[in-house]
Amino acid sequence: MSGAPFPLAIDPAARPARSVPADLAARLRAALPEGVVLTEEADRTAYLVEERSLYRGEAPIVLRPRSTEEVATAVRLCTEAGVAIVPQGGNTGLVGGTVSAAHEVLLSLGRMNRIEEVDPLNFTMTVQSGCVLADIQSAAEAADRLFPLSLGAQGSCQIGGNLASNAGGINVLRYGNARELTLGLEVVLADGRVWNGLRALHKDNTGYALKHLFIGSEGTLGIITRAVLKLFPRLTDRQVALCALNDPSDALTLLSMARGRAGEAVTAFELISSFALEIVERHTGGQTPFAGRHPLYALVELAGSDRDGTLRPAMESLLESAFEAGVVADAVIAESLDQAGNLWRLREGIPETQKKAGGSIKHDISVPVSRVPDFLRRAGEAVETAMPGVRICAFGHLGDGNIHYNLTQPEGMEKTAFLAQWERMNAVVHDIVAGLSGSISAEHGIGLLKAGELLRYKDPVEMDLMRRLRDALDPAHLLNPGKMMGRGGG
Ligand SMILES: Cc1cc2nc3c(=O)[nH]c(=O)nc-3n(C[C@H](O)[C@H](O)[C@H](O)COP(=O)(O)OP(=O)(O)OC[C@H]3O[C@@H](n4cnc5c(N)ncnc54)[C@H](O)[C@@H]3O)c2cc1C
C-alpha cells in the first residue's frame, strides 16, 4: 500500500530561512491574483501592530488570499523558499501570536470572509476562516438559529483565530468553547496539501479526530481555511440578574444552586470584584443598582428557547432561596432588555476601563471551579505580600473556573516600574495556579507572551508529545515558529 506523495519533500532537519529571498515577492505575485501580495510599508503597517504595543511585527511581505487554493499556493511557495509563515486573523489575541519577524511572511485571512452555507435543518453553518465572529452570529440569527460563541472582541476577531486559539467567552458554561462548536475543518498543511475534513456530521467515529489537533494549535500545525460550525436553537427568553455577595464561596454556592435548579438554562455566570466594578463606574458613568459597596458581585444569566415565560419565575425563586440561605446580600433582576444590556455593560466594560486605571499585569487562569475561592484567597494574600498596595481587578467566567486575575498598579507607583514586575508577579500567581492543578492560559493561548512559562509549568511528557506532533506535521517549523513552544521548541 502506498500513500500519495507529499507535493513538497520537506527536509526534517531544515529550519526557517534567516531572511526572505529577494525574488520571493515576485514569485508570489506571479502565482497569485493582483492585490494578494503587499510589500509597500504603508500597506503592511496595519498587519504589524499589536493592540498592547508589546510587540511590533516586521514581515516584509503580507499576503491576503481570498480562497483555499490561494492559501495553498502561498504556503507552497514559502515552504519551497524555506520561509516561515505567520497566520493572522483579527489580531485580537493579546499574547503576541501574530507577531512576525523580518525573515517571515505574514498571511492575513481577513479576505476569506464568505459565509458559504447556513443549514438550519442540520443546525450547521459552513464558513471561510476569515469571517468576523459577529457576522457569523448575525447570519445564524437570520436563520432563526444561534451560534453561541460570544466574546468582547467579536466585532473584529475571526473564526479562524477563534478556532486556532480555542476561544471561550461568556457562554462556555452551557455550550462549550470553540472546540465543542466545531464539526469539521479544512486546513492547509505546511507542505501545501489541503486536508479536507469539512464534514457536517454530528457523529463520526472513523479514526483520530484530527480537527482537534488544529483547534488550539495557534497556527503552528496548519492554516485553517474553512470550518463547519454547530448551530443551536435561538434563545427567545433571557433573564439577567446582578447579585451582591460577601464572599467567593457564596458565589460558588449560588452557581451550584443556579445549575441545580435551572440546569442548562444557566448560560453565563460572571464574577466581578469590587475594584473591577468601581473602575467601570468611575470611568464609564455606568452605575450599580445597589446603595452600598459589596466585596464581590455575580452576573447571572438564564436563557432559553421556550416562549412560555418560565425563566423569570425560575430566576426569582433562585434568588429568593439564595437570600434565605444567606448566600446573596442583595440582587436585582433586569426588567427589560435595556436593563439587561446595562448590567452586561458593567461586566463588559472592565477590560477597557482597566487601561484608564493605570498599568495592568494580566493573568488568564483557570482552576477547577470548586477551587476558585481557594485560588482567590491564596493569590490575594500572595500578591499583597509581593507588592503591598497592588489593586486586584479580578473578573471573569466563574462558571468555567476561568478568572482574569489582573493586577492594577498601586496608587502612586510609576507605571513603568510596575510593569517591570510583570514576570515576578506572574510567577507569584501562576505558582498558586499550578499548585491547584490549574492552567496559566484558559482562553487567550500562549503566543510569544507565555511561551517561556509554558515550558515551566507544562508536564515534560506533554511538551514532548506536542513537539513530536509539530515535527510530524511541520518538520521544518515553518508555521508560526517561536509561538507556543518558544524558539527552542520551534
Ligand atoms: C476585548 C477583548 C476581549 C476578549 N475576550 C475573550 C474571551 O472572552 N474569550 C477568549 O477566548 N478570548 C478573548 N479574547 C482574545 C481574542 O479575542 C481571542 O483569542 C480570539 O479568538 C482571537 O481571534 P483573532 O481572529 O483575533 O485571532 P488572532 O489574534 O489574529 O490570532 C490568534 C492566533 O491564532 C492564529 N491564527 C489566526 N487565524 C488562523 C487561521 N486561520 N489558521 C491558523 N492559525 C490562525 C494566529 O497565528 C495566532 O497564533 C479577547 C480579546 C479582546 C481584545
Measuring from atom 47 of ligand 1, which residue has the nearest CA?
Answer: 87
Whether 283 shows a pLDDT value over 90: the answer reads: no
Judgement on whether residues 224 and 245 belong to the same structural domain of the protein: no
Ligand 1 mean position, distance from CA 159 (Å): 8
Q: Residue 436 sits in a domain of what CATH number? A: 3.30.70.2740
Measuring from atom 31 of ligand 1, which residue has the nearest CA?
Answer: 161
Judgement on whether residues 120 and 228 belong to the same structural domain of the protein: yes
Whether 445 shows a pLDDT value over 50: the answer reads: yes
Judgement on whether residues 246 and 227 belong to the same structural domain of the protein: no
Query: What is the pLDDT at residue 7?
Result: 46
Model confidence at 13, pLDDT cuts 50, 70, 90, reads low
Listed residues 187, 208, 233: the one ending a domain: 233
The helix/strand/coil state of 105 is strand
Instruction: Say yes or no: CB of residue 224 within 6 Å of ligand 1.
Output: yes
Judgement on whether residues 229 and 248 belong to the same structural domain of the protein: no
In a domain, 487, yes or no: no
| 368, 437 Cβ separation under 8 angstroms | yes
Which atom from ligand 1 is nearest to the alpha carbon of 397?
8
CB atoms within 10 A of CB 127: 24
C-alpha closest to that of 404 among 454, 347, 453: 347
Judgement on whether residues 122 and 224 belong to the same structural domain of the protein: yes
Q: What is the mean pLDDT of residues 227-255?
A: 97
Model confidence at 55, pLDDT cuts 50, 70, 90, reads confident
Instruction: Say yes or no: CB of residue 296 within 6 Å of ligand 1.
Output: no
Ligand 1 mean position, distance from CA 87 (Å): 11
Judgement on whether residues 379 and 405 belong to the same structural domain of the protein: yes
| 36, 65 Cβ separation under 8 angstroms | yes
In a domain, 249, yes or no: yes
Judgement on whether residues 120 and 222 belong to the same structural domain of the protein: yes
Whether 147 shows a pLDDT value over 50: the answer reads: yes
User: Can you give the residue range of the structural domain that contains 120?
Assistant: 115-233
Judgement on whether residues 156 and 248 belong to the same structural domain of the protein: no
C-alpha closest to that of 44 among 30, 64, 28, 26: 64
Q: What is the mean pLDDT of residues 260-284?
A: 93
Which atom from ligand 1 is nearest to the alpha carbon of 133?
25
From 154, 165, 449, mutation site for ligand 1 pocket: most ligand atoms within 8 A of C-beta: 165
Listed residues 205, 233, 261: the one ending a domain: 233
| CA dist., res. 251 & res. 325, Å (int) | 12
Whether 485 shows a pLDDT value over 90: the answer reads: no
The helix/strand/coil state of 221 is coil
**Number of domains, the chain:** 3
Which atom from ligand 1 is nearest to the alpha carbon of 214?
43
DSSP 219: T
Least confident of 234-248, 405-419, 473-487: 473-487
- C-alpha distance from residue 349 to each of 167, 318, 324, 344, 478 (Å): 19, 27, 31, 8, 38
| 373, 256 Cβ separation under 8 angstroms | no
Q: Residue 241 sits in a domain of what CATH number? A: 3.30.70.2190
Q: What is the mean pLDDT of residues 333-353?
A: 93
Judgement on whether residues 315 and 398 belong to the same structural domain of the protein: no
- C-alpha distance from residue 488 to each of 329, 440, 452, 458, 463 (Å): 52, 20, 10, 15, 12
Instruction: Say yes or no: CB of residue 152 within 6 Å of ligand 1.
Output: yes
Least confident of 3-7, 60-64, 147-151: 3-7
Judgement on whether residues 296 and 332 belong to the same structural domain of the protein: yes
The four Cα atoms 141, 144, 145, 146 give a dihedral, to 10 degrees, of 40
Whether 361 shows a pLDDT value over 80: the answer reads: yes
Measuring from atom 21 of ligand 1, which residue has the nearest CA?
Answer: 162
The percentage of the chain sitting over the pLDDT mark of 70, rounded to a whole number, equals 96
Sequence-distant (6+) residues with CB within 8 A of 80 are 8
